[in-house]
Chain A
């Protein structure tokens, strides 16, 4: 009775929420996946340690970007490479769960340190998310299950070992879950504050920016702005409700499923690789004890072989146990750590980052033709009229102000919607739209002011019975110059629509 009363009070519910004891399976999964993903970009940067993170390169500390003094020392290349090697060793040990907490204590500060040193090419929001989760892993008991540590402990206990997994307070997992709620809520606020996000233009320009990896699907989608517009609303709504619905058992899987879909789409449309993987690794913190029981049952039912998953940690356990009996486990860990650091320094030196060793001196700079160089330096070309326009399309329907379809075949009575999209920044423009026949005779001409804040303008033509079936052109003109020309075919019987007043334009 007293226990029920405690549970019903706010404090009791909070205690239950943060300090309920569970086996840390979720955090163990995060421990295995997140450092593996976070290490992919870091391994790629290893040959460039000298350039990115040492005193003999061009580190760009984040603190300097914020106008503050960088509190961290810039180390010499051998020392930087050694610490980098130590960080990679630490992360590998975290994945395997060998001396998990010690490894996290070594690897996490180094990971944060190296990221803070290169704000231009290393530090991103995904490294920030990874840093948060790695910090929470350090405070958790993520190494208590599915780890070398757990196996070693089991072997030490021998027959006294129990099959019941250890339990710990669940708060590190809860904070990781909260982190995602904050991330999505903050991201939604950013989008709400971003101009032209809800008309799709921002997403379109992002998809056409080749700043990430290849994104052919994104390039296709960029041509369909209404799709981006719908995606923008869906994303913001999901990001806001995530924080409220992910806790409810009925909607948890839906929210996480939508999240997985969202991150999958960022890979497909924006060419992001590491960011979605980091977030999906973090989602594993939502896995509970009961989820694991269900998954295990399912695996047993479908007879999925899972024994091989334990091979890497068993291999490490065997290697650890092969050490001389007089050498403590910690000593063997420290020896391997030291070896990793020294090897990293040696490998980095042999990689010859600046090509000084292989060429017996510095490499020559590439020359540039003087005419080309001076043309670049002295270029004062004003923006061409056509470069002020992103596109010009004709269709029949609008969705959220954007052209929803592209169409070149019309019938009498149809309305042509001609839409031009503009590239900001542009000055106030007078834009004209013309309807011409095959002989380029203009039947109708209309214009409108497109002020500097506008990103698109629409023109409408109603096909009355004044025209005859045939081929026509819709022409976009700006500053008296023809910019785009779109072909359309008018089909059908002019008599099918009521006769138009002669005062009307067509």
Chain B
């Protein structure tokens, strides 16, 4: 009985410490990166939403030039409503697997390459038509923007990737400033791979460093 109580006490203490650690780590933003178990004690259910809605389109181009929609022909699984699972893949880790999986289990001509395209539209167009009419004097004029995100092989291997639409818009907004552009151009960052300062310090000169094979070292 006593042992049971001691074990229970230890469990209670450990469990409360674990929960407290989660709160502390979340507040201070430490110790959570690369820590899967941290997901179990961080309560970030509401961590922000974007002004634009987005969906992912995966388009395969066959060797004949015909395009195919890389969507499960047996029916897509919609986990939380009527949006297919692949659209919830915010980290883009599932998409390569999905490409390979759908192409492996469907019939089609040999595939040359696969394009991953983001479709984006402002969220105000998600408002039902009658609600829009009640609050707006203009007709609803929804337009989607498409952004090529990646080009992959038929096995889902990444061949080329392009900036995310949101990141691109933010960068454009920042870059839309001639003074900032000029300053940035003047201060192009670089990393010297030719001169090794510590070698120069020893001999009081800077010198090029070459490896025994005659190729320049990166460090």
A52: chain B residues at CB < 8 Å are: 77, 85
Q: Nearest chain A CB to B172's CB is how many angstroms away?
A: 7
Q: Nearest chain B CB to A168's CB is how many angstroms away?
A: 11
Contact A208 B106 (CB under 8 A): no
**Proximity string of chain B (121-162) to chain A, C-beta cutoff 8 Å, 1 when within and 0 when not:** 111101110010001111001010111100000000000000
Q: B185: CB under 8 A from chain A?
A: no
Contact A19 B5 (CB under 8 A): yes
Contact A379 B145 (CB under 8 A): yes
- Tell me the complex Cα distance, A393–B74, Å: 46
B102's nearest neighbour on chain A, judged by CB, is A365
B138: chain A residues at CB < 8 Å are: 484-485
Q: Nearest chain B CB to A265's CB is how many angstroms away?
A: 13
- Which B53-90 residues have C-beta < 8 A from chain A? 53, 57, 59-61, 65-74, 77, 79-83, 85-86, 88-89
- Tell me the complex Cα distance, A139–B10, Å: 13
Q: Nearest chain A CB to B82's CB is how many angstroms away?
A: 8
Q: Nearest chain B CB to A408's CB is how many angstroms away?
A: 10
A205's nearest neighbour on chain B, judged by CB, is B49
**Proximity string of chain A (354-387) to chain B, C-beta cutoff 8 Å, 1 when within and 0 when not:** 1110000111111111101111111101011011
- Which B172-187 residues have C-beta < 8 A from chain A? 172-174, 176-177
B198: chain A residues at CB < 8 Å are: none
Contact B81 A210 (CB under 8 A): yes
Contact B45 A187 (CB under 8 A): yes
Contact A365 B94 (CB under 8 A): no
Q: Nearest chain B CB to A388's CB is how many angstroms away?
A: 8
Contact B49 A202 (CB under 8 A): yes
B27, B43, B91: most-surrounded residue (chain A CB, <10 A): B43
A362: chain B residues at CB < 8 Å are: 73, 105-107
| Partner pick for A66 among B36, B102, B143, CB 8 A cutoff | B36
| Partner pick for A179 among B19, B73, B170, CB 8 A cutoff | B19
Known contacts A58-B97, A122-B79, A366-B73; decide if A178 and B16 are in contact (CB<8 Å). Answer: yes
B174's nearest neighbour on chain A, judged by CB, is A452
Contact A355 B73 (CB under 8 A): yes
Contact A376 B59 (CB under 8 A): yes
Known contacts A66-B39, A384-B143, A425-B173; decide if A202 and B23 are in contact (CB<8 Å). Answer: no
B111's nearest neighbour on chain A, judged by CB, is A365
Contact B131 A367 (CB under 8 A): no
Q: B191: CB under 8 A from chain A?
A: no
Q: A22: CB under 8 A from chain B?
A: no
Q: A469: CB under 8 A from chain B?
A: no
Contact B81 A66 (CB under 8 A): no
Q: A427: CB under 8 A from chain B?
A: yes
Q: B216: CB under 8 A from chain A?
A: no
- Tell me the complex Cα distance, A45–B177, Å: 50
**Proximity string of chain A (106-130) to chain B, C-beta cutoff 8 Å, 1 when within and 0 when not:** 0000000000100011101100100
Contact B106 A190 (CB under 8 A): no
Contact B48 A202 (CB under 8 A): yes
Contact A373 B73 (CB under 8 A): no
A219: chain B residues at CB < 8 Å are: 126-128, 131
Q: Nearest chain B CB to A504's CB is how many angstroms away?
A: 29
Q: Nearest chain A CB to B106's CB is how many angstroms away?
A: 5
Contact B51 A485 (CB under 8 A): no
B88: chain A residues at CB < 8 Å are: 120-121, 211
B12, B69, B82: most-surrounded residue (chain A CB, <10 A): B12
Q: Nearest chain B CB to A192's CB is how many angstroms away?
A: 9
Known contacts A57-B101, A120-B88, A271-B81; decide if A169 and B8 are in contact (CB<8 Å). Answer: yes
B86: chain A residues at CB < 8 Å are: 120
B47's nearest neighbour on chain A, judged by CB, is A190
B80's nearest neighbour on chain A, judged by CB, is A212
| Partner pick for A64 among B93, B123, B148, CB 8 A cutoff | B93
Q: B196: CB under 8 A from chain A?
A: no
- Tell me the complex Cα distance, A63–B117, Å: 26
Q: Nearest chain A CB to B107's CB is how many angstroms away?
A: 5
Q: B194: CB under 8 A from chain A?
A: no
- Tell me the complex Cα distance, A486–B136, Å: 8
Contact A187 B73 (CB under 8 A): no
- Tell me the complex Cα distance, A237–B115, Å: 47
B19's nearest neighbour on chain A, judged by CB, is A182
Q: A197: CB under 8 A from chain B?
A: yes
Contact A487 B137 (CB under 8 A): yes
Contact A368 B67 (CB under 8 A): yes
Known contacts A175-B12, A190-B44, A425-B173; decide if A66 and B74 are in contact (CB<8 Å). Answer: no
Contact B40 A211 (CB under 8 A): no
| Partner pick for B146 among A68, A379, A428, CB 8 A cutoff | A379
Known contacts A58-B94, A223-B135; decide if A210 and B53 are in contact (CB<8 Å). Answer: yes
Contact A187 B46 (CB under 8 A): yes
| Partner pick for B85 among A41, A116, A120, A202, CB 8 A cutoff | A120
Contact A211 B137 (CB under 8 A): no
B85's nearest neighbour on chain A, judged by CB, is A121
- Tell me the complex Cα distance, A316–B131, Å: 52
Contact B35 A213 (CB under 8 A): no
17 A-B residue pairs with Cβ-Cβ distance under 8 Å, sorted by A, are A18-B12, A171-B12, A175-B16, A182-B19, A182-B43, A187-B45, A194-B48, A205-B49, A223-B131, A356-B105, A365-B68, A366-B69, A373-B115, A381-B143, A406-B135, A426-B173, A485-B138
Interface residues of B (CB under 8 A from A): 5, 8-9, 11-12, 15-16, 19-20, 22-23, 26-27, 33-36, 38-53, 57, 59-61, 65-74, 77, 79-83, 85-86, 88-89, 91, 93-94, 97-98, 101-103, 105-108, 115, 117, 119, 121-124, 126-128, 131, 135-138, 141, 143, 145-148, 166, 169-170, 172-174, 176-177
Interface residues of A (CB under 8 A from B): 18-19, 41, 45, 48, 51-52, 57-58, 60, 62-68, 116, 120-122, 124-125, 128, 131-132, 139, 169, 171, 174-175, 178-179, 182-187, 189-191, 194-195, 197, 202, 205-206, 208-214, 216, 219-220, 222-223, 271, 275, 353-356, 361-370, 372-379, 381, 383-384, 386-387, 390-391, 393, 406, 423-428, 452, 484-487
